[in-house]
């Protein structure tokens, strides 16, 4: 028997899922060694993004065995000690980073609105588990609960499919030591994933990911794991959603008008119910909803990719906005942690970039909060505009590596009070004078704030496009655009990065490349990361592989000084850079 067939037989013997057992048995019976190699010659690697991959049998797929192993590894790491240690920060930083709510290391001492007896710091370590409406998500959540309770931990499971920001909020609200969200966010329907949070309510970082991965490697057969059963874990009720909505009351919305009409889509995901309740609670009119995309559907039948950034993904909501005469179109991705915005313009509806929304929300938050200790954060691939906004408003500014796991750990001083963080990929976390209530991107909270901003502009006879022009006049025009290239073979991405390092381009879009930064060596005090940054006069390009999809992602920015507000000229320069970069990469 070959090693592949032996590994498949061993997997088959422990797999509790009749569907993946049948899939694997069919491959064994057919002698399909290529398909077996695809599933067993490699495996999904647990990292700072947790796990994410295609559903199916074998260690290189998302399935019940993979999830149970991950849960057992997480439980082992929690039981190994100090569940309050922060990923990649010193003990002092850990305390300061989580002091915004007055509790050390993100542990709740009181859980208003939560079930009795769930305060952190007592008894066994605990894990709160959420899930979206994708194929397999609920079962993966229940498997996680069974494994962690079988290992002797406490577990709380969300009452139904809910947005990722509700889970991220619940970690701190319940005083849990960790959180798990079963979701693949905006990936294609064939995928699912497993995102892990620590006791501070933020996603895990190095070295914690490696410690959990090592614990997963030590897990034996899953059919030999001790398992809890229903009744051993707590199924939460709607109080947890209500507590999240109460927390959103802390957003700086007071005094803003509410006269704004919105067209909305949850994009076949789980955002609709919570967003409707959040809007009603804040006094906004109920949005018009895209009927074809209103209900959760794990097959995402109306979009090629359920990602608001993808071309065509927002066509239905913009069409609804046009029909209803809406002021604004808003989309959440399927797990509602991202928020996309479209507005009417002279040439019809257009989507705003994540950087445009980030700049607008940053100034909105800074106008409605106070204090020189306020901190705003973005990533090295996002627009440089936020730094200029922070300087003008006299607040602290930090850059982080890509992803909210880094944004929520960024600090410039021990007493930083983060009130805003964003990344260009439509992710935003914002708060009032008490800091951010959710330590991850929050598409519901962002939708509330952008509605308030649009209502303010409408009251003054203006639009979000007018506000963008105001920013260009104040800070200079900052125009950004992505170049994302999807591949079937990730080795092509590694090859492209090697070529760029060996022979970087000398010019792009007619601009001389004056400097190349290899981000694997670290940059500006940040940890090393896979990527390159190319600098040109008045322009910048960052190139990096995606951490969750088989994509090479490039982030382009052209900056014109205040007074030079020629968007057409800047757009032509941006497109020229994009064209030359695509030719240099040679991946299409």
Query: What are the beta bridge partners of residue 511?
Result: 508
Which residues contact residue 73 at a Cβ distance below 8 angstroms, ignoring those fewer than 6 apart?
46, 212, 213, 214, 215, 216, 217, 218, 219
The two domains 45-244 and 476-585 share their CATH topology (first three levels equal): no
**Predicted confidence (pLDDT) per residue in 337-386, tens digit:** 999 999 999 989 999 999 999 999 999 999 999 999 999 999 999 999 99
H and E: helices and strands count for the chain: 18, 22
**Domain covering 249-474, topology:** Alpha-D-Glucose-1,6-Bisphosphate; Chain A, domain 3 (3.40.120)
Query: What is the pLDDT averaged over residues 400-412?
Result: 94
**Taking 60 as the threshold, does the pLDDT of residue 105 lie above it?**
no
**Taking 60 as the threshold, does the pLDDT of residue 196 lie above it?**
yes
What pLDDT is stored for residue 109 in this prediction?
32
CB atoms within 10 A of CB 510: 11
From the list 137, 185, 261, 429, the catalytic residue is: 185
The full 3-state SS of 324-360, as one line of letters, equals: HCCCEEEEECCCCCEEEEEEEECCEEEECCHHHHHHH
What pLDDT is stored for residue 369 in this prediction?
96
What pLDDT is stored for residue 160 in this prediction?
98
What pLDDT is stored for residue 85 in this prediction?
58
The full 3-state SS of 472-495, as one line of letters, equals: HHHHCEEEEEEEEEECCCHHHHHH
CA distances from residue 354 to 282, 390, 434 in whole angstroms, order as listed: 24, 18, 25
Grade residue 1 by pLDDT with cuts at 50, 70 and 90.
Answer: low
Grade residue 547 by pLDDT with cuts at 50, 70 and 90.
Answer: confident
Considering the chain, what is the average pLDDT of its residues?
91
Query: What is the pLDDT averaged over residues 285-290?
Result: 98
Active site (annotated) includes residue 185: yes
Grade residue 40 by pLDDT with cuts at 50, 70 and 90.
Answer: very high
What pLDDT is stored for residue 114 in this prediction?
39
- Domains of the chain, residue spans: 1-41, 45-244, 249-474, 476-585
Number of residues written out for the chain: 588
Q: Which CATH architecture has domain 476-585?
A: 2-Layer Sandwich (3.30)
Q: Which class is 45-244 in CATH? A: alpha beta
**Predicted confidence (pLDDT) per residue in 441-475, tens digit:** 999 999 999 999 999 999 999 999 999 999 999 99
**Taking 50 as the threshold, does the pLDDT of residue 523 lie above it?**
yes
**Taking 90 as the threshold, does the pLDDT of residue 267 lie above it?**
yes
What SS3 state is found at 553? strand
Of 1-10, 74-83, 129-138, 301-310, give the range with the top mean pLDDT.
129-138
**Predicted confidence (pLDDT) per residue in 168-184, tens digit:** 999 999 999 999 999 99
Query: What is the pLDDT averaged over residues 13-41?
Result: 96
**Predicted confidence (pLDDT) per residue in 550-580, tens digit:** 889 999 999 999 988 789 999 999 999 999 9
CA distances from residue 467 to 329, 371, 450, 481, 570 in whole angstroms, order as listed: 17, 24, 12, 19, 18
Distance CA 532, CA 517 (A): 6
């Amino acid at each position: 028997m070959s090693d592949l067939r032996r590994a498949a037989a061993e997997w088959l013997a422990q797999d509790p899922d009749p569907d993946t057992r049948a899939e694997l048995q069919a491959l064994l019976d057919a002698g399909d060694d290529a398909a077996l190699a695809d599933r067993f010659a490699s495996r999904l690697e647990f990292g700072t993004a947790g796990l994410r991959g295609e559903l199916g049998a074998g260690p290189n797929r998302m399935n019940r065995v993979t999830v149970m192993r991950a849960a057992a590894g997480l439980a082992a790491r929690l039981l190994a000690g100090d569940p309050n240690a922060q990923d990649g920060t010193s003990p002092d930083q850990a305390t300061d980073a989580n002091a915004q709510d007055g509790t050390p290391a993100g542990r709740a001492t009181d859980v208003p609105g939560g079930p009795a007896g769930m305060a952190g710091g007592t008894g066994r370590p605990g894990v709160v588990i959420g899930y979206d409406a994708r194929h397999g998500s609920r079962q993966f959540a229940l498997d996680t609960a069974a494994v962690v309770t079988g290992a002797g931990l406490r577990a709380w499971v969300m009452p139904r499919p809910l947005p990722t920001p509700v889970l991220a909020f619940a970690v701190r609200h319940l005083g849990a030591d960790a959180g798990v969200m079963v979701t693949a966010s905006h990936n294609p329907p064939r995928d699912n994933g497993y995102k892990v949070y620590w006791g501070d309510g933020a996603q895990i970082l190095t070295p914690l990911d490696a410690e959990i991965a090592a614990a997963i490697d030590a897990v034996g057969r899953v059919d030999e794991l001790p398992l809890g059963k229903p009744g051993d874990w707590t199924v939460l009720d709607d109080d947890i959603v209500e507590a999240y909505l109460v927390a959103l009351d802390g957003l700086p919305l007071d005094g803003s008008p509410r006269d704004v009409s919105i067209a909305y889509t949850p994009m076949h995901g789980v955002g609709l119910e919570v967003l409707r309740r959040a809007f009603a609670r804040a006094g906004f009119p109920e949005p018009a909803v895209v009927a074809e995309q209103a209900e959760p559907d794990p097959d995402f039948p109306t979009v090629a990719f359920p990602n608001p950034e993808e071309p065509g993904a927002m066509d239905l909501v913009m069409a609804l906005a046009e029909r209803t005469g809406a002021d604004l179109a808003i989309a959440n991705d399927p797990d509602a942690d991202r928020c996309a915005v479209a507005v009417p313009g002279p040439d019809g509806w257009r989507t705003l970039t994540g950087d445009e929304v980030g700049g607008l929300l940053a100034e909105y938050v800074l106008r409605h909060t106070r204090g020189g200790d306020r901190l705003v954060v973005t990533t090295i691939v996002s627009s440089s505009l936020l730094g200029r906004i922070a300087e003008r408003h006299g607040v602290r500014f930090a850059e982080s590596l890509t992803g909210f796991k880094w944004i929520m750990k960024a600090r410039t001083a021990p007493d930083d009070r983060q009130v805003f963080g964003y990344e260009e990929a439509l992710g935003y976390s914002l708060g009032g004078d008490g800091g951010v209530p959710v330590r991850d991107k929050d598409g519901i909270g962002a939708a509330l704030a952008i509605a308030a901003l649009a209502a303010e502009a409408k009251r003054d006879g203006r639009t979000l496009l007018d506000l963008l022009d105001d920013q260009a006049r104040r800070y200079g025009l900052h125009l950004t655009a992505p170049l994302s290239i999807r591949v079937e073979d990730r080795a092509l991405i590694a090859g492209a990065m090697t070529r760029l390092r060996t022979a970087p381009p000398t010019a792009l879009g007619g601009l001389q490349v004056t400097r190349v930064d290899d981000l694997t060596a670290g940059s500006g005090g940040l940890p090393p990361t896979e990527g390159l940054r190319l600098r040109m006069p008045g322009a910048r390009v960052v190139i990096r592989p995606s951490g969750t999809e088989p994509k090479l992602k490039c982030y382009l920015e052209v900056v014109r000084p205040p007074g030079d507000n020629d968007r057409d000229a800047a757009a032509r320069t941006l497109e020229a850079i994009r064209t030359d970069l695509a030719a240099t990469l040679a991946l299409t």
